[in-house]
Amino acid sequence: MRTRLRGDAGQAFPIYIVMVAGLLFLALAFFAVGKAAALRNDSQGAADAAALAAAQQARDDFGTGFYASLPRNTLDIFLGAPFAPPCYEAERLAGANEADMTYCEPSFGYLRDLIKVKVEGRDPVDSPVLPGSEKKFAKAKATALIEFRCPNPTAIDGNSDGVMDLFIFTCRNGKIIKIVPSSPPPWESVSTTLFDVRLVDSDSEANDE
C-alpha cells in the first residue's frame, strides 16, 4: 500500500510542476499586457499634452500678425495663411512626459487649423514571455484644433481713408470684443476668446521600434 502511494505521488509531481509553470507564464503574460496598456496610456497623455501645447503656443504667436492685419482689413488673408507650428513646444511637453516627438505638422483651413503630433514612449514593454518586446514601444498621436470663434467682424472706417479704426467681434460664445487697431489690448486678454484650442482626435498603438 505504501509503495502505491509513493508511486502516485511520483506521477503527480511532474503534473504539479507543469501547472505551476503554466500559472507563472499566465501571470507574466497578464503583467506584460497590463504594462503595455499602461505604456499606451502614458504615451497618449504625452501626445495630447504635446499637441495642445503646440496649438496654444501657436495661438499666442498669432498676436502680432492678427493686429497687423486689422488696419487694412486683411484679417481674412491672415486667417487663411499658413503658419509654422511651434513644434518645439510639442517636443518639450512630450519630453516632460517621458516620450519623444516623432512628428509635428499643421493642416491649414480657413478659420480653423489643425496641428498633428505623434510621439513614442521611452520605456519598452520588455516582457520575458513576449519575444521581441524589448523593442516594443508605445506610440500615440493626437490632433489639436485652433479655431477662430468670432467670424464676420464689423469693421469701421471712421475717416473713410481705407484704414479701419474699430473692429467689433461677435463671438460664438456670446462675447463681444471691440478692438481699436491703433491701440489694441494685450493679446493674452483677448486671444482665448478669439481662438478656441482643443483636442479633436487622438489614437494610440504599440509598434516595433
- Position 108 scores a pLDDT of 87
As a whole number, the mean pLDDT across the chain is: 83
Pick from 122, 147, 117, 119: nearest CA to 137: 122
Grid cell digits, residue 72: 487694412
- Position 13 scores a pLDDT of 55
Question: pLDDT tens digits for 40-95?
Answer: 888 999 999 999 999 999 999 999 999 999 999 999 999 999 999 999 999 999 99
Residue ranges of the chain with pLDDT lower than 70?
A: 1-37, 125-135, 202-209
Q: Are strands 176-179 and 99-107 parallel, antiparallel or unpaired?
A: unpaired
Grid cell digits, residue 10: 511520483
- Position 125 scores a pLDDT of 62
- Position 25 scores a pLDDT of 53
DSSP string of the chain? -HHHHHHHHHHHHHHHHHHHHHHHHHHHHHHHHHHHHHHHHHHHHHHHHHHHHHHHHHHHHHHHHHHHHTTTT-HHHHHHS-----HHHHHHHHHHTTEEEEEEEEE--TTEEEEEEEEEEEEE---TTSTTGGGEEEEEEEEEEEEE---S-EEE-TTSSS---EEEEE-TTS-EEEE-TTSPPPHHHHHHHHEEEEEEEEEEEEEE-
